[in-house]
Amino acid sequence: MNKILIIIFVFIMGCGYQPIYVNKQQDNYVFKSIKLIGDRKINKKIVTALNLKEDNNLVEENKIILTSGKEIEETSKDSKGKVQSFRTLINVKLIIQKNKKIVDTKKFSVNFSYNNKENNFDLANYQKEIENNLTTQIIQKILMHLSL
């Protein structure tokens, strides 16, 4: 059994395999201009997580535009009109321009449905947690898109 594991390990190490996110935390994406439109909290989290930097001294005119939005929808109500479930939807549109020409554009969208809570404070905290998780999913999708 140990010989099989050693052989598999040697083949994996020798074939150039490496995890997708191995060096992505160290990547710096430098743009001459970063424009953020929409939900400020989501945009800030994306810029921080992706390590986007702005450098006005760049010769090349490259620009990134992030447009984000969050919606919380009521998806069902009971017979008395009380909300039974919600859906949180986060949309992000990424546009990359070089020399005033759009080089890349991509829309990212994730959503999550959940039941209402009796306590409004618990519901608000749960919605914040969902927003953070959905934003993290969007960040992973953007990271995959930028690495290709």
- Position 91, amino acid: N
* Residues 147 and 24: beta-carbon distance below 8 Å: yes
> Which tens digits make up the pLDDT trace of 74-101?
999 999 999 999 999 999 999 999 988 9
> Which tens digits make up the pLDDT trace of 10-61?
666 666 655 555 554 456 788 989 999 999 999 999 999 999 998 888 888 8
Residue 80's SS3 state is: coil
Which residue ranges form the domains of the chain, and what is each CATH number?
Answer: 27-147 (3.30.160.150)
pLDDT reported for residue 24: 47
Strand-strand pairing, 62-77 and 33-38: parallel
d(CA 19, CA 118): 43
Counting other chains too, the contacts that 82-88 makes at CB distance below 8 Å and 24 or more residues apart are 82/116, 83/116, 84/115, 84/116, 85/113, 85/114, 85/115, 85/116, 86/113, 86/114, 86/115, 86/116, 86/127, 87/111, 87/112, 87/113, 87/114, 88/112, 88/114, 88/127, 88/130, 88/131, 88/134
